[in-house]
Amino acid sequence: MAETKKPAGTQDTDQTKSTAAATKTAAKKTTAARTKTAATAKAGTKTATEAPKATAAKKPAAKPAAAKAAEKPAAAKPAAAKKAPAAKPAAKAKAADAVATKEAAPAKATAAAKPAAAAAKKPAAKRTSTRPTKAQLAAAKEAADKVFAERLARHHDELRWLYMELYDNGDMFAELCDQMKRFYDERTPKLRALDAEREAAGAWYRASDMLGMQMYIDNFAGTIKGVEKKLNYIQQCNVNYIHLMPFLDTPADKSRSDGGYAVSDFRRVNPELGTMDDLAHLADKCHDKGISLCMDFVMNHTSEDHEWARRARAGEGEYMNRYFFVKDQGIIDQYTRDVPQVFPTTAPGHFTYLPELDQCVMTQFYPYQWDLNYKNPRVFNEMMYNFLFLANQGMDIIRIDAVPYIWKQLGTNCRNLKQVHTIVRMMRMIGEIVCPGIVLLGEVVMAPVEVVPYFGTVEKPECHMLYNVTTMATTWHTVACRDVRLLRQQLDAVFGLPREYTFLNYLRCHDDIGWGLDYDTLKQWGMEEVSHKKYVNDYFQGFTPGSVSRGELYNADPVTGDARFCATTASMCGIEAAGFEGNEEAMDTAIRKDVMLHAYVFTQSGLPIIYSGDEIGQVNDYTYKEDPEKAEDSRYIHRGKFDWELSKNIKKKGTVQERIFDALKQLEGIRRDEPVFGADAEAWTKDYSDTSILWIVRRAGNETLHAVFNFSDDAKTIWMPEAGIYTNLVTGETAEVTTVDMPAWSFIWMLQK
Ligand code: GLC
């Protein structure tokens, strides 16, 4: 096995992505150890070392209108730009599938130039009585064009600058501008109205009534249509943001689909789940109910079944240039040396050998997930069109999957390179021009220092939201150690960031928990990385005396001893064990722990996300072991089917489901209604003498919230900072309080005015 070790502290954050499912295919991957004999490449094939070229760049074409429209004379240079983009003759070539947009030139302002959304809203409603006249339609169109032209003008110079810096290809940039206009034109009036509303509202996703839920469509309701039928339940859960796990077309064989993260067609829904029309219909219904939809945009790679990959495999040079093909073992060796591995045990190596071409293709994740080559502007442009196409189906939040990996450069570690930030920044601007209502959510599972730059700067933002992954992992470390010191440091670091930086907070997601903790700090307290990882993994498997958790390791590396962990929140809190033992007292504690952890997530600034099933305390699902396509991927333990039978218990007083469901609902209501939970409230942690007590303070106006969490197996008496009148937000009681008795794993939300 060829291995490259990462610097301490970043190791397992990268590794957070491995899975056991690839054991079968892993053998196919090349490693540095393999010495290949070079054979002649198939005629017409190219290798990755060749510079990618824009396709079909042959004959001159007029400069596309949309690009022209936004050009200003002697535009000011964007501040971040370092060198002048090489000026290219305006239109040397016509890109293959450019769609020239004729009417993109900015309309001269007229009386009819109302906001496009408002103008577009009117006519459709009363089609029978008042059909819009030609003049009205023309006016609406003019108004809409003006909005686009203004948005494009706002970003054009910076966008062009960055594009030219990366690709130095004016024709492809012109094509991009034309396509942006086309997607803008195709956006429905309703979506444009939503864009306008959200543009006016500002950062709409930061409202404290936002609550997300992450779900697999098939597990939750079978199909997209099924999800639509369950919207009432979703609303009953107070949820107004649904993250639908990957639903685009993917190989039917689950051992080649990575749970849908191997996309074979970005414009087609997996037929097992429905159609693109079903999706657009669901989005529409959701919008009527004030619910937003989030989807994964897997832009680092495609499935080997994607048309581009199939054509590349057939030796078509143009398509090979959309991936990284390598013949030279020296290059493979260098990547192996410099680039950390995503799946070190189950899918080692960075390349997969294709005998039909006698070449290797880069596959950083699984051998069936081919890394896209963003050095090729055709790849960037086409992927942006896919993004806009999906946004136009009514998606509100685009989760950019595995974003740190998208730019590769021999001689670097191929993570978080500056070109990645250029691409994300361009994507942000493209979104703001075409569909400003949408939100980019970055999946950056990296050390904290690498995460924050994905927000960009306040002036030049990149992602709107990022996963708070380190806080999540540190939370579970805190549960296992019953020591809040590291968590406090982590929370204070996050609380200290600009308020515009919005994190997505969660206890569990669909992936494993990688122990990407701050080991430099832990070392000061006597906790060493290797032994500590073993400790937390033992604890959560229930091997440590006193541990009530149940779950399984993931991608355990027998050489390094490294491993990550999989289980549902409820199982990690002890609900599975207590249920199995029929131990009511243990169940009380487990439910208290589960609710307390949710209260703690709700106390953080940002957007909380619940994993579907957590609202009723669903435990681990071991049936994946019986499915040969899933058996080797222990992440399926926490990806079980939603149990609708069990969910009926939310109406039965005293059941586990009712206790958790009602408790969460109450907390969500408080969070929504109390200004101290607002995104702009100040927040910090308070030093307290007992290291198993986490104390978060939030302040808004003259109100102060003391949110105190007992991360201990023992009851504690805590002292309020000053005797005074406090309102317990959960019990509703207002009284003079000096001390509070807190059972093990309980919390209080005390409001002081
Ligand atoms: C993301 C997903 C993970 C998947 C990987 C590869 O990290 O969360 O489930 O395996 O991307 O696409």
Tell me the best of 16, 17, 297 to mutate to test the pocket of ligand 1, counting ligand atoms within 8 Å of each CB and taking the most.
17
Least confident of 22-31, 164-173, 230-239, 724-733: 22-31
Task: Give the mean model confidence (pLDDT) for residues 98-113.
Answer: 33
How many angstroms is it from 334 CA to the middle of ligand 1? 25
How many angstroms is it from 363 CA to the middle of ligand 1? 13
% of the chain exceeding 90 in pLDDT: 78
pLDDT digits (tens, 9 = 90+) for 395-426: 999 999 999 999 999 999 999 999 999 999 99
- Please state, in angstroms and rounded to a whole number, the distance separating the CA atoms of residues 630 and 216: 15
Q: Which atom of ligand 1 is nearest to the CA of 445?
A: 7
Residue 92's pLDDT is 34
Residue 129's pLDDT is 58
Q: Which atom of ligand 1 is nearest to the CA of 300?
A: 12
Active-site annotation holder among 14, 443, 462, 511: 443
Active-site annotation holder among 228, 371, 401, 615: 401
Residue 403, Cβ density class (10 Å: 0-12 exposed, 13-18 middle, ≥19 buried): buried
Residue 476's pLDDT is 98
Predicted TM-score (pTM) of this structure: 0.84
502-506/465-467 β-pairing: parallel
Q: Which atom of ligand 1 is nearest to the CA of 509?
A: 8
Residue 448's pLDDT is 78
Task: Give the mean model confidence (pLDDT) for residues 447-463.
Answer: 92
> Do 440 and 423 touch, CB atoms closer than 8 A?
no
Least confident of 68-72, 156-160, 626-630, 708-712: 68-72
Determine the Cα angle at 393 with ends 389 and 395, to 5°.
Answer: 100
The more confident residue out of 496 and 41 is 496
Cα 687 from chain centroid (whole Å): 33
Tell me the best of 13, 258, 370 to mutate to test the pocket of ligand 1, counting ligand atoms within 8 Å of each CB and taking the most.
258
How many angstroms is it from 391 CA to the middle of ligand 1? 21
Residue 99's pLDDT is 32
- Please state, in angstroms and rounded to a whole number, the distance separating the CA atoms of residues 17 and 514: 8
Residue 564's pLDDT is 94
**Residue 1: is its pLDDT beyond 80?**
no
Other beta carbons less than 10 A from residue 8's beta carbon: 11
Residue 599's pLDDT is 98
Q: Which atom of ligand 1 is nearest to the CA of 19?
A: 10
How many angstroms is it from 639 CA to the middle of ligand 1? 14
Residue 555's pLDDT is 86
Residue 102's pLDDT is 32
Instruction: Give the residue whose CA is nearest to atom 6 of ligand 1.
Output: 261
Residue 128's pLDDT is 55
Residue 384's pLDDT is 98
How many angstroms is it from 135 CA to the middle of ligand 1? 50
Task: Give the mean model confidence (pLDDT) for residues 64-80.
Answer: 42
- Please state, in angstroms and rounded to a whole number, the distance separating the CA atoms of residues 539 and 66: 59
Residue with tokens 């032209």: 149
pLDDT digits (tens, 9 = 90+) for 330-344: 999 999 999 988 887
Residue 124's pLDDT is 45
The more confident residue out of 488 and 9 is 488
pLDDT digits (tens, 9 = 90+) for 377-393: 999 999 999 999 999 99
Name every residue whose Cβ is closer than 8 Å to that of residue 379 and which is 6 or more positions away in sequence: 52, 322, 372, 373
**Residue 673: is its pLDDT beyond 70?**
yes
- pLDDT tier at 2 (50, 70, 90 boundaries)? very low
Residue 720's pLDDT is 95
- Please state, in angstroms and rounded to a whole number, the distance separating the CA atoms of residues 552 and 431: 40
- pLDDT tier at 312 (50, 70, 90 boundaries)? very high
Q: Which atom of ligand 1 is nearest to the CA of 298?
A: 12
Task: Give the mean model confidence (pLDDT) for residues 539-551.
Answer: 97
How many angstroms is it from 432 CA to the middle of ligand 1? 26
Amino acid (one-letter) located at 714 = D
Instruction: Give the residue whose CA is nearest to atom 9 of ligand 1.
Output: 511
Instruction: Give the residue whose CA is nearest to atom 8 of ligand 1.
Output: 511
How many angstroms is it from 443 CA to the middle of ligand 1? 9
Q: Which atom of ligand 1 is nearest to the CA of 259?
A: 9
Task: Give the mean model confidence (pLDDT) for residues 225-240.
Answer: 98
pLDDT digits (tens, 9 = 90+) for 12-63: 333 333 333 333 333 345 443 332 223 323 333 333 333 333 333 333 344 4
pLDDT digits (tens, 9 = 90+) for 123-152: 444 445 578 899 999 999 999 999 999 999
Residue 344's pLDDT is 76
Residue 194's pLDDT is 97
Q: What is the DSSP string of 499-533?
A: TT-EEEEES--SSPBP----HHHHHHTT--HHHHH
Packing angle of the helix pair 170-186, 418-434 (nearest 10 deg): 40
Average of per-residue pLDDT values in the chain: 86
Query: Is 296 assigned a catalytic role?
Result: no
265-269/248-249 β-pairing: antiparallel
Torsion sign over Cα 363, 369, 374, 377? positive
**Which among 699, 481, 749, 717 has a CA at the least distance from the CA of 595?**
749
- Residues within 6 Å of ligand 1 by CB: 17, 258-259, 261, 298, 365, 401-402, 443, 511
Give a three-class secondary structure readout of 401-459: CCHHHCCCCCCCCCCCCHHHHHHHHHHHHHHHHHCCCCEEEECCCCCHHHHHHHHECCC
- Please state, in angstroms and rounded to a whole number, the distance separating the CA atoms of residues 745 and 711: 5
> Do 640 and 570 touch, CB atoms closer than 8 A?
no
Q: Within 13 Å, how many C-alpha atoms sit on residue 88's CB side?
A: 20
**Residue 453: is its pLDDT beyond 90?**
yes
Residue 345's pLDDT is 74
Residue 632's pLDDT is 87
- pLDDT tier at 119 (50, 70, 90 boundaries)? very low
Query: Edge-to-edge strand order for the sheet containing 359-362?
Result: 29-30, 351-354, 359-362, 325-326
pLDDT digits (tens, 9 = 90+) for 348-360: 889 999 999 999 9
Tell me the best of 257, 297, 508, 511 to mutate to test the pocket of ligand 1, counting ligand atoms within 8 Å of each CB and taking the most.
511
Query: Is 443 assigned a catalytic role?
Result: yes
How many angstroms is it from 20 CA to the middle of ligand 1? 13
